[in-house]
Structure 1
Amino acid sequence: MASKTAPKEEVVDYSLNNPDTLTKYKTAAQISEKVLAEVSKLCVAGAKIVDICDKGDKLIEEEIAKVFRGKKITKGFSHPTTISPSAFVTPYTPLSTDEKENAVELEAGEAIKIQLGAQIDGFGSIVCNTILIGQDDNVVEGRSADLILATHYANELLLRLMVPPGVLATGTDEEKAKAASAKAPTQSKITSLLEKVVKSYDCNLVESTTSWVFERNEIEGKKKIVIAPGENSKGEGSPEVGEVWGVEMGVSLGSGKVKQFEQRTTLHRRTTTTYSLKRPSSRKVLSEVQKKFGTFPFSLRQLEDERDAKSGVIECVRNNVIRAYEVVGDKDNSPVARLLSTIAITKNGITKLGGPPALDLAKYKTDNKITDEEVLAILEQPISRNTGSKSKNKKKKKPAKKTATTAAKSEEDEDEEESDDE
């Protein structure tokens, strides 16, 4: 009697070549951006950070429940809602059971960073924006304007430096081939160019600001770009077509050097390390984390019993089963701004999947401006090819500074309708 052969498991293509992958990334990104907008409205002077974080997480859960109904796929958080006060660099999410940190309120005028994200089938989109509390429609001047504009233009420059050589090349076949054979900028060159931007506004890059390649169930892939690297930190690899990246920019009104803050570490992430945990509370925490969050970041306040989680996570961290994200901030306690966008790199350039909203440049007034010709030239470059989905009227050339400003802003508005045919 002939033996039956087991059916072959279907190999699923999780790359961007599979349209479903891009759909899932975009769906997660739309949720992330929608919740970011709602959380931003909650950020007013006197509001408690822990309350805003809780509301943000509930909004993510509500939006996630509306999509891919009935599908046997995981969906949830790619990053919990975090609200980082002015001098904080890393995402911050206090606990309701910590009396001191539970009472932390937002203060008028401070630069706060909102970071959060959703994931569909392991394809996560994380977004971060910096807002000034209480400014709303007011015109922002002085050092606050310097910080926001420096961060905006540095971010726009970095996005353009993420485009692989030759992707947007035009001209003859020979010219295109020459452009494609050029080497991507080194990470030291990237830092050097970004420093020119932020120093134009008398600011500094935040030490070891890192952008990562995103993969399925992984927000810290094999490649990374480290800006202004600190001791023992360096980048690895260059962006390529077919990749998704989390692109981060961090700028400080101080030196940009960082230090560990005294606040409790509440943001964690499961690693791939296996270890036989001894304590029941530790095993309970790990089991809950695996079920709810997989390998994506989570806050201890998201676990069933916050008090048990605080004790149970200790053994997990000690044995590297769970990684702790220390609370880090500006060494001088100076205000810090951060932006984070999730992008896809395609043959048509960069598609912004999710990110901070377009900045209304008219609201920020300062005497400082970018004058470096190399930087201005890069800022005038597009981040994606116009695929003809909409006809656009070409604008007349404007002076260098205004042209760079217009280009950087218009790219934010246009990329949604470009590069969608991948």
Structure 2
Amino acid sequence: MLNQQLEQRRQSAAPRGVGVMCNFYADRAENATLWDVEGRAYTDFAAGIAVLNTGHRHPAIVAAIQAQLERFTHTAYQIVPYESAVSLAERINALAPITGPAKTAFFTTGAEAVENAIKIARHHTGRPGVVAFSGGFHGRTMMGLALTGKVVPYKTGFGPFPGEVYHLPFPNAVRGITVEESIEALEQLFKSDIEAARVAAIILEPVQGEGGFNIAPTALIQALRTVCDRHGILLIADEVQTGFGRTGKLFAMEHHGVNPDLITMAKSLAGGMPLSAVCGRAEVMDAPAPGGLGGTYAANPLAVAAAHAVLDTIAAEKLLERSVQLGAKLQETLNEWREGFPAITDIRGLGSMVAVEFADPATRKPDAGMATCVQKEALSRGLLLLTCGTYANVIRFLYPLTIPEAQFDAALATLRESLQAATAEAAAV
């Protein structure tokens, strides 16, 4: 009854605008397992929406937070700074795919990082315009929503949004959108809506998160780099969801051999603690005057300590290699099953950022109902999955990269059972 009682309390105390997927409540968690308040165990393939690449309560992260807790929890970095934040910036500057000297500023959330990246870009260039992509997700703040290319549920009823933001079609083989069409749309934008000389930045996710785990082709990123260099525009990579090993590289841009001018990061940066950052070319990052960047909780000491432990753990446990291994196994397994599940229209992934897309077998139209049914069936069997996509017809897989092999295999067996149950349910309708 505990879960039911808590659910009744939540509905009375919290607004409906904060959508909640599960009707059970967390009690404790470890690595890839979460237990609810009634003692039931779940295998977590959601990982706090890509926050727990190093798993729940990794011992190294817990120890780092405990050690910092014994020293101090808050000074406000802008008032009294501390060495741990400086050394974390140094580590990220050395690791991030930025050309030339780099600098990093810390914030609290992914949306905050995006907001500040736009501020920095506008200040550096003296220009107002920003170009983003359909299907992209960049946060729930007003500028984040303006950049986000998905209306429901994020933008509905919240406008008007900040101006001088424009959207391009994102390449998508399933939808028949090519790289050439995306770049042609950009050139048309410069002719019909805003001149290139007034554009401060182009922002994109190297792999779209909420948009459906759509992978940006290398040709697109290379073309954007060329356009940006030609017109003095900054290229911003939003790596909030792709960063820290999810795609098999520390940053997804490393797959393309193209360096952005600015990178936003958050989520798995601090293994469950609230921390985000913007890293970029030093001369760009130095554009705002002192006081122009910051935040009360920016570079929180406990989160900074956790982030150091995350970087140590990724290296020590070879989680980049494990991301590639697990992702390859998942894609290979899904492809082996594909013939038996006609609603599967696409399987795609980069490292362990893997998704399966569903469509009606007869019409080939996106089938959100099937994705939801698979998610529901999996949840009833103790497996947490998330949906995504512009049409909400995609299941995404965000397991911790530290998940034990046996647990991963058991989760795949559960996934197959869930697909079978959902397919049988659809056939019975």
What range describes the TM-score normalised by the shorter chain of this pair? Answer: under 0.3
TM-score by length of 2: 0.27
Q: Which structure features the higher share of strand residues?
A: 1
Give the TM-score, by structure 1 length: 0.27
